Amino acid sequence: MSDTHTEDHIYIVGAGHAGGELAFALRQQGYAGPLTIVGDESHLPYQRPPLSKAYLKGECEATSLYLRQLAAYEKANISLLLSRRVERIDRANKKLVFDDGREVTYSKLALATGGRARRMTINDATRAEGTSNFRYLRNIDDVMAIRSRFEAGQRLVVIGGGYVGLEVAASAIARGVNVTVLEALPRVLARVTAPQMSQFYEKVHRDAGVDLRTNIEVTHLEFNATGDAVTAVHCTGGVVIPADYVVVGIGLLPNTEVAQAAGLDVDNGIVVNEYAVTSDPDIVAAGDCTNHPSVFCGRRIRLESVPNAVEQARVAAASLAGKPKAYESVPWFWSDQYDLKLQMTGLSQGYDQFVLRGSMESKSFAAFYLKQGRLIAVDAVNRAQEFMVAKRMVAACKSFDPAALADESVPLKTLAGPVQPAAPQA
Ligand SMILES: Cc1cc2nc3c(=O)[nH]c(=O)nc-3n(C[C@H](O)[C@H](O)[C@H](O)COP(=O)(O)OP(=O)(O)OC[C@H]3O[C@@H](n4cnc5c(N)ncnc54)[C@H](O)[C@@H]3O)c2cc1C
């Protein structure tokens, strides 16, 4: 079946944070033509951060995660095709082919396909996915399955000590669940933060009652007699951890297969330029699925964060509307665990100096990462106001006196000075 050809119809593939934002940004940019979001989940575009936080704890309902309610899409004349997957892009004929075989014609296309949970590679992993108590965490349906099992006294094993795994642990502890976290690397959050920050979070979790183990790898899983539940997680060193539930959070793989099959440039993400345009000038891309040039970092990066999804979606919309503006944002992210609000800006990889302002014991501090004197990243814990200033300081790509950064008697905004335009890193 084929649609009647319309001259002008923009399709957005992916009804996530980037896809939802892109649609409304297009309307704000003045595009008034036909506009459709296609998403393979059954939900309206929603925020994922609460999936490991408030929603997992049962503190809110799925509809409260929606970026906007249905009436807003109707009012903006944005069509939604949900529970529908785009299987193929026929760029030569400007057609999308859906999973039900239907085809539609696009004038311009936006890809906001996000990513999916990275799967474990141990032999039993596929078998475990068929059981009732083993789950990866990426979407609302995953959490609906997990949170119904969060009862006091249950034994939860979390595989992966990254942000998602640690947030799941904190949420489960709040519900009285017995939690074990297994991290293969020598410390948690190893890929994204300094050893001092890892130690801080390890202590916080252990103090809260989490059995947190590092340097430990899962070798295989044990199943019950009927094979429909995992009963234990076996690890290196002969360690066996009994489990009523297993949640895996070991990272994300970008959804790039449809783009790649269509011949678009893909390299750890759909390759886009600073205007969010792919190697096809009629196709833009935004969010977790893109590999984009970062003015701030001086190299190509792929980010997994809401601010990136939102800001890049706006850039992509501007390009589609014929009003291009370059994407120049400094990366930032947050994580909520227990009573700790962690906010991070910049990317700390390659730092050679770590400066602490405030004390970790007080659970209110900021960690500054410097590279050859220049401030490249800040992690702030329970310091929301200083974080706002720190964002400006990191964006300025300037050197700061480490002693002054550490000195709490010197207000951070005095050090930051007037707002500076971002300069590229070497
Ligand atoms: C548990 C969890 C906690 C998080 N916490 C934070 C946080 O605290 N702070 C933060 O900044 N970020 C956080 N993130 C990351 C943040 O949610 C993502 O960066 C953001 O959702 C990216 O949005 P996106 O639109 O690019 O991708 P997604 O949200 O992944 O949306 C992409 C959508 O496209 C759909 N799709 C893919 N391919 C197709 C296709 N071919 N056809 C149709 N539909 C398709 C996908 O199913 C999905 O619904 C968290 C993520 C998770 C999973």
Would you state the pLDDT for residue 426? 39
Average pLDDT over residues 109-131: 95
Kindly give the distance from the C-alpha atom of residue 288 to the centroid of ligand 1, in angstroms, as a whole number.
7
Burial environment of residue 27 by CB neighbours within 10 A (0 to 12, 13 to 18, 19 or more): middle
How confident is the model at residue 419, as a pLDDT? 52
pLDDT single digits (tens) 269-302: 999 999 999 999 999 999 999 999 998 888 999 9
What pLDDT does residue 418 have? 66
Q: Centre a 10 Å sphere on the Cβ of residue 293 and count the other Cβ atoms it contains.
A: 17
pLDDT at 12 over 60: yes
Beta strands 283-285; 108-111: pairing state:
parallel
- Give the position, in ligand 1's atom list, of the atom nearest the Cα of 38: 43
| Separation CA 37–CA 21 (nearest Å) | 11
Q: Which of 177, 235, 185 is nearest to 208 (CA)?
A: 177
Pocket of ligand 1 (CB under 6 A): 13-19, 38-41, 48-49, 51-52, 85-86, 112-115, 137-138, 164, 255, 258, 287-289, 304-307, 309, 333-335
Backbone angles phi, psi at 197, to 5 degrees: -70, -40
State the distance from the centre of ligand 1 to the C-alpha of 16, rounded, in angstroms.
6
Q: State which amino acid sits at residue 407.
A: D
Q: What average pLDDT does this structure show over 249-269? A: 97
> Given a cut of 50, is residue 424 above it in pLDDT?
no
| pLDDT at 423 > cutoff 70 | no
User: Average model confidence (pLDDT) for the chain?
Assistant: 94
Cα-to-centroid distance, 265 and ligand 1 (Å):
21
In this structure, the residue with its CA closest to atom 34 of ligand 1 is 14
How far apart are the C-alpha atoms of 244 and 231, rounded to whole Å? 6
Question: Is the pLDDT at 404 greater than 60, yes or no?
Answer: yes
Q: Which single residue is written with the structure tokens 């590279």?
A: 371
Task: Quote the CA–CA distance of 300 and 400 in Å, as a whole number.
Answer: 26
CA of 46 to the centre of ligand 1 (A): 9
The tokens describing 299, both together, are 């190299």
Amino acid at the residue 124: D
In ligand 1, the atom with minimum distance to the C-alpha of 20 is 25
Ligand 1: atom nearest CA of 333 is 11
Taking the centre of ligand 1 as the mean of its atom positions, its distance from the CA of residue 138, in whole angstroms, is 7
User: Where are the extended beta strands (E) located within 46-120?
Assistant: 79-81, 86-90, 95-98, 103-105, 108-111, 115-117
Kindly report the protein residue whose alpha carbon is nearest to atom 37 of ligand 1: 113
> Among 98, 306, 336, which residue has the most ligand 1 atoms within 8 Å of its CB, making it the best to mutate?
306
Task: Grade residue 416 by pLDDT with cuts at 50, 70 and 90.
Answer: confident
pLDDT of residue 296: 86
- Mean pLDDT across 203-216: 98
The reported pLDDT for the residue numbered 425 is 45
Q: Which atom of ligand 1 is nearest to the CA of 249?
A: 1
Q: Which atom of ligand 1 is nearest to the CA of 336?
A: 8
d(CA 415, ligand 1 centre) in Å: 36
Q: Please give the share of the chain, as a percent, with pLDDT higher than 90.
A: 92
If we measure between CA atoms, which residue out of 406, 371, 412 comes closest to residue 390? 412
Predicted local distance difference test score (pLDDT) of residue 1: 40
Q: How far apart are CA 126 and CA 119, in angstroms?
A: 9
Residue with tokens 């000590």: 161
Instruction: Give residue 420's pLDDT.
Output: 52
Mean local confidence (pLDDT), 183-199:
96
Measure the CA–CA gap between 248 and 303, rounded to whole angstroms: 20
pLDDT class for 148, splitting at 50, 70, 90? confident
Q: What are the tens digits of pLDDT across the range 78-110?
A: 999 999 999 999 999 999 999 999 999 999 999
Atom of ligand 1 nearest to the CA of 143: 1
Distance CA 425, CA 406 (A): 23
Q: How far is CA 188 from CA 13, 182, 369, in A?
A: 34, 9, 18
Q: Which domains does the chain have, with CATH numbers?
A: 10-116+253-320 (3.50.50.60), 125-250 (3.50.50.60), 339-416 (3.30.390.30)
Per-residue pLDDT, 417: 78
Helix (H, G, I), strand (E, B) or coil at 396: coil
Cα 231 to ligand 1 centroid, rounded to whole Å: 30
Q: What is the pLDDT averaged over residues 142-146?
A: 92
Question: Averaged over 225-235, what is the pLDDT?
Answer: 96
How many A from CA of 28 to the centre of ligand 1? Answer: 23
**Tens digit of pLDDT for each residue in 348-364?**
999 999 999 999 999 99
Each residue of 31-61: pLDDT tens digit?
999 999 999 999 999 999 999 999 999 999 9
- The pLDDT-based confidence of 6 (bands split at 50, 70, 90) is low
Residue nearest to atom 7 of ligand 1 (CA): 49
